[in-house]
Structure 1
Amino acid sequence: MNHSLYSGSGIVPEMDDVQFSRWQSLLEERTGMCLPAQRRSFLQTSLGLRMQEVGCDSYQEYYDRILSGPAGAIEWNTLVDRLTVQETRFFRDPDAFAFVEQHMRHMQRALGEQETFEAWSVGCSSGEEAYSLAMVAEEVLGHSGRRFAVTGTDISTIVLRKARAGRYMSRSLQWLPEFCRASDMLTLDSGHIQISDSIRKSCCFSQVNILNLDACPLEQQHLIYCQNVLIYFRRWRRREILNVLAQRLAPGGVLIIGLGEMVDWQHPLLEPVRSSRVSAFIRKSETSTGETARR
């Protein structure tokens, strides 16, 4: 029986076990993402639609094109954009952002007078998460004259372009807390919201493959927000990612991940936050780290 799918513009060919395994391995090798068997139809549809666009008749032909020189590298980047873009929204986890606000208020007192509060949104997608962090920072730190900066990183160049533009459908307003709607952090324009220039200038966006975090220059972060990212990786790779992020925190800085994403992970530099609402870790001070090492 032929189980090919109809896409609306043509027939998406059926993907056999050999081809699924081949593409599954390539995706994990290059991005670290582990695509389970339950998502075969997603992979088949995504590949099939792109194959129609570029005129490839089989998964093998497209696979060979992906591996062929500079043109293949460009095509691979296009495909990764299709396969890795995940749903996101402003203030997606209210409990986590309540913890972010609490942490920023604490750091407001702990930071040096000229020190900038640094935050990093890992896997920022189209920017809503990074801008949410910036809006909280503006409310907590900006009003008292404190400087802050938010960096958003993602592997997809398409979503990063959207993030830099800072323009979203007006339905996004439903996820924004009242202090954002009532402020000058955004404007309404013909069915869209536009993030204000002041908030956008506090944010920068950069392409980073999470497998290459060692090469990422971000250091001494006061907040690293990494939610809904680790679930796409194998457990051993999640540990590798978190170990690198732990090293990038400043003393007193906080790492926030999704509830249940890594329940048994520990790191000697970090102290877990005891909470049933948020999964977070605080970087110990240099003094306490040294004391731990001597024990």
Structure 2
Amino acid sequence: MQPSVDWSLRPLADMSSAEFHDWQALLEERSGMVVTEQRRIFLQANLSSRMREVGVTDYASYYRQVTDGPRGAVEWSTLMDRLTVQETRFFRHPPSFALLSAYMQQRCESRGAAQPWSLWSVGCASGEETYSLAICAAEALTLDGCDGQYGVIGTDISLSALSRSRDGLYSRRRLEQMDPDLCARYFQPMPDGRFQVTPSLAARVCFARLNVLELNGAPMSDMDVIFCQNLLIYFRRWRRREILNRLVERLAPGGLLVIGAGEVVGWQHPELVPVADSQVLAFTRKCL
């Protein structure tokens, strides 16, 4: 007797070279995402999964659907949720947050408490980095009696990721590597075993949808801190530099820009000064 087949797992037909090229071009044009030949299976699997849900059997028809006016825009947004990698964790790169803490404590002495801090997590995924920035800021600003105000914004292209970020609910596993004292201060246990970001911390954080290819129209300006980590790896080298140049325009004089180590090589900007840290790729903007 033959084993039963789960029809939902049956692969669709392989993409033709022309279809793969069309999808590559569309993704790069709209999101900047580069899908190499090595990631062809990843693309095909995620497209197939969504196509089954909407009842489309071939890649060309689905391509026409996602490029068909306003209805296509809605479907495109849903597809992007499938294709964007949203795996992250709290304090993912500890040296970056140690640098941020030292930076804020040092600058706290030269700026008044009446001047609020603004921090930005670019490509925030499900919110862990954004809340990590908020926790780090809260801790840094309470040291030495520096009780400054601050706000953190997280931006991402994925609407479903932003929805999870706003919920601020995380499993115990997500918090395992965080300092227990920080967990106790900034998360409260829920009846279902998950942990909720405390209202006082959540009040300092907001989330918004943003495609980094559209930074020209982004409302952020004079940001004191910008974190852009584990995002640039999905773009071509020239696009990475373009994105970074746009972020510098939104950085306040004296502000801190932190980039994922190894994500960009040889990039320089006339208004930036490299931070002397062997573990973190970071820059400060020259003061006027």
1:259 aligns with 2:261: yes
- 1:142 is displaced (CA, Å) by 4.6
Q: Deviations over 1:110-162 (max 9, x none)?
A: 22231001100000011000000001111111564210100000001100011
Contact 2:113 2:149 in 1 (8 A): no
Contact 1:13 1:48 in 2 (8 A): no
Residue 204 (structure 1) aligns with = 206
- Tell me the SS of whatever aligns to 1:77: helix
CA distance in 2, matches of 1:234, 1:215: 21
CA distance in 1, matches of 2:49, 2:66: 15
- Tell me the SS of whatever aligns to 2:227: strand
Calculate the TM-score normalised by the size of structure 2. Answer: 0.94
Gaps of 5+ in 1: 1-5, 287-295
Q: Deviations over 1:18-54 (max 9, x none)?
A: 1111101100000011111110000000000100000
Contact 2:273 2:283 in 1 (8 A): yes
Contact 1:92 1:175 in 2 (8 A): no
1:50 aligns with 2:50: yes
Residue 292 (structure 1) aligns with = none
Residue 69 (structure 2) aligns with = 69
Residue 87 (structure 1) aligns with = 87
Contact 1:88 1:125 in 2 (8 A): yes
* Match for residue 163 of structure 2 among 158, 161, 167: 161
Equivalent residue runs for 1:1-295 within 5 Å = 8-142=8-142, 144-183=146-185, 185-189=186-190, 190-286=192-288
Identical columns (%): 47
- 1:7 is displaced (CA, Å) by 7.6
CA distance in 2, matches of 1:255, 1:150: 14
CA distance in 2, matches of 1:96, 1:19: 41
- Tell me the SS of whatever aligns to 1:121: strand
Amino acid of the residue matched to residue 250 of structure 1?
A: A
- Tell me the SS of whatever aligns to 1:110: coil
Give RMSD over aligned pairs: 1.4
Q: Deviations over 1:66-109 (max 9, x none)?
A: 11121111101100111113211101001111111111111221
CA distance in 1, matches of 2:29, 2:270: 29
- Tell me the SS of whatever aligns to 2:225: strand
CA distance in 2, matches of 1:240, 1:179: 40
Contact 1:19 1:60 in 2 (8 A): yes
Amino acid of the residue matched to residue 109 of structure 2?
A: R
Calculate the TM-score normalised by the size of structure 1. Answer: 0.92
**Structure 1 runs, 4 residues or longer, greater than 3 Å off:** 6-10
What is the number of residues matched between the two proteins?
280
CA distance in 1, matches of 2:110, 2:57: 60
- Tell me the SS of whatever aligns to 2:261: coil
CA distance in 1, matches of 2:92, 2:193: 21
CA distance in 1, matches of 2:63, 2:148: 51
Amino acid of the residue matched to residue 84 of structure 1?
A: T
Residue 3 (structure 1) aligns with = none
CA distance in 2, matches of 1:242, 1:223: 13
- Tell me the SS of whatever aligns to 2:174: helix
Amino acid of the residue matched to residue 235 of structure 1?
A: R
